């Protein structure tokens, strides 16, 4: 069936789950530390609902941010991750009481928020980022990546993983900690997802062989090589995300040619016209800020890379994978 003939009503009802950084002040009108417009958090959520977003996972990038993510998740009936991003990993050492106390605090936060609405569904984001060692050295990043892996085993939670220009060390640390096979399930862990993936086809294959999922967003589809790697992700291992407010797709990205076929009925939901922050209008998308509603556009590009598979099939599979990985059975049953 040519994609353009999918009834817009049907296609727009895709079930999506997003990985988002909703704690970012940009959703409150503060761009790069300056207030540019009023708080439009609720309007942003409304736009995402109209675009078929049924729920979201809010990422915690530090102890403090994980607490904020949990507060938002509880308030809006969403889910959160708890952990410390590699670029923030010096926080472990600066923490009063030292690194052990920081890890204990994360452990306690997870322990206290394991049940019901607004719960922790993954440990992270954690990992390695060698593109940004000015924030934390490779050694500091490695040490605190290792220590967080124990939390995933202890609480039987999947990992929410970040890896940039660090593949060899990243995989070595995971393997050493017992995550090399079936995502560490023999040790009580629950696999995980390598998010915002920008690596090679070989890396996709390695992660999948280790039992991990791979998640794509706008940053994962900037070049033709990116697209080749994205197309190599198996249907049972793929997740979609926006990483909002980061990783918007732009007209200079390789994804653009695949987005050209996005029907207007869906474009108006996923990529509606945006205004400059200075010309803010409540209810309109804001330039320079990615939003959860754009997940449908990510899914569309993946659909175009997998010739012949209907858009609904692509979104449905990613939705199922998400429910399974993060153990969100209530969404499958429709009780939430
Ligand atoms: Zn990340």
Transcribe 147-208 into DSSP letters.
HHHHHHHHHT--EEEEEES-HHHHHHHHHHTT-SSGGGGGGT---EEE-S----HHHHHHHH
The span from the CA of 208 to the CA of 171, in Å, is: 12
CA of 308 to the centre of ligand 1 (A): 31
Q: Tokens 């995300």 belong to which residue?
A: 241
Question: How far, in whole angstroms, is CA 290 from its chain's centroid?
Answer: 13
Write phi, then psi, for 322 (nearest 5 degrees): -65, -45
The pTM assigned to this predicted structure is 0.91
Position 334 scores a pLDDT of 64
CA of 71 to the centre of ligand 1 (A): 20
CA of 233 to the centre of ligand 1 (A): 18
Question: Which amino acids are annotated as binding site, given as ranges?
Answer: 31, 125, 162, 195, 243
CA of 236 to the centre of ligand 1 (A): 22
Question: Which amino acids are annotated as binding site for a divalent metal cation, given as ranges?
Answer: 31, 125, 162, 195, 243
Question: What are 266's two structure tokens?
Answer: 């869906």
CA of 163 to the centre of ligand 1 (A): 7
CA of 142 to the centre of ligand 1 (A): 15
The span from the CA of 72 to the CA of 89, in Å, is: 23
CA of 245 to the centre of ligand 1 (A): 12
CA of 220 to the centre of ligand 1 (A): 12
Q: What is the longest distance spanned by two Cα atoms in the chain?
A: 61
CA of 207 to the centre of ligand 1 (A): 16
Position 28 scores a pLDDT of 78
Position 26 scores a pLDDT of 79
Are the CB atoms for 184 and 147 separated by under 8 Å? no
Position 10 scores a pLDDT of 38
CA of 19 to the centre of ligand 1 (A): 10
CA of 124 to the centre of ligand 1 (A): 9
Q: What is the pLDDT along the chain (336 residues), one digit of tens a residue?
A: 223 333 333 344 455 666 667 777 777 778 888 888 888 888 888 888 888 888 889 999 999 999 999 999 999 999 999 999 999 999 999 999 999 999 999 999 999 999 998 999 999 999 999 999 999 999 999 999 999 999 999 999 999 999 999 999 999 999 999 999 999 999 999 999 999 999 999 999 999 999 999 999 999 999 999 999 999 999 999 999 988 888 889 899 999 999 999 999 999 999 988 888 888 888 888 788 888 888 999 999 999 999 889 999 999 999 999 999 999 988 877 655
Phi-psi region of 289 (alpha: psi -120 to 50; beta: other; left: phi over 0): beta
Q: Which residues surround ligand 1, an ion (CB under 5 A)?
A: 162, 196
CA of 187 to the centre of ligand 1 (A): 25
Residue 74's CATH number:
3.20.20.140
Q: What 8-state DSSP symbol labels residue 273?
A: -
CA of 61 to the centre of ligand 1 (A): 9
Position 33 scores a pLDDT of 82
Number of domains into which the chain is organized: 1
Alpha helices, DSSP H, located in the chain? 8-11, 41-50, 63-76, 90-94, 98-112, 138-155, 167-176, 201-210, 224-231, 255-259, 264-270, 295-305, 311-326, 329-333
Position 6 scores a pLDDT of 33
Angle at the Cα of 27 from the Cα atoms of 22 and 31, rounded to 5 degrees: 120
CA of 23 to the centre of ligand 1 (A): 14
Residues 6+ apart with CB under 8 A from 30: 36
Range of the domain at 255: 3-333
CA of 264 to the centre of ligand 1 (A): 31
CA of 290 to the centre of ligand 1 (A): 14
In which element (H, E) is residue 12 found? none
């Amino acid at each position: 069936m040519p994609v353009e003939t999918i009834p817009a009503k049907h296609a727009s009802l895709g079930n999506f789950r997003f990985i988002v950084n909703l704690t970012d002040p940009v959703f409150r009108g503060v761009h790069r530390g300056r207030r540019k417009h009023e708080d439009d958090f609720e309007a942003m959520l409304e736009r995402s609902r109209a675009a078929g977003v049924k729920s979201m996972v809010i990422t915690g990038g530090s102890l403090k941010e994980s607490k904020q993510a949990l507060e938002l998740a509880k308030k809006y009936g969403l889910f959160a991750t708890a952990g410390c991003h590699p670029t923030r990993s010096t926080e472990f050492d600066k923490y009063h009481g030292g690194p052990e106390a920081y890890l204990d605090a994360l452990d306690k936060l997870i322990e206290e928020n394991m049940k019901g609405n607004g719960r922790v569904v993954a440990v992270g984001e954690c990992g390695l980022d060698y593109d940004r060692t000015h924030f934390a050295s490779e050694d500091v990043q490695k040490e605190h990546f290792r220590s967080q892996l124990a939390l995933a085993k202890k609480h039987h939670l999947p990992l929410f993983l970040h890896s940039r220009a660090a593949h060899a060390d990243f995989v070595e640390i995971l393997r050493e900690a017992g995550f090399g096979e079936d995502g560490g399930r023999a040790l009580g862990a629950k696999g995980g997802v390598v998010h915002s993936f920008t690596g090679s086809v070989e890396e996709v294959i390695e992660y999948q062989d280790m039992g991990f999922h791979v998640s794509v967003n706008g940053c994962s589809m900037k070049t033709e090589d990116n697209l080749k790697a994205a197309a190599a992700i198996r249907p049972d291992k793929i997740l979609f995300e926006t990483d909002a407010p980061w990783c918007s797709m732009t007209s200079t990205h390789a994804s653009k040619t695949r987005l050209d076929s996005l029907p207007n009925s869906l474009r108006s939901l996923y990529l509606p016209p945006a205004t400059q922050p200075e010309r803010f209008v409540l209810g309109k998308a804001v330039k320079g800020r990615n939003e959860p509603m754009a997940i449908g556009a990510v899914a569309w590009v993946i659909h175009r890379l997998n010739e012949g598979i209907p858009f609904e099939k692509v979104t449905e599979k990613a939705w199922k994978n998400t429910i399974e990985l993060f153990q969100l059975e209530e969404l499958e049953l429709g009780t939430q």
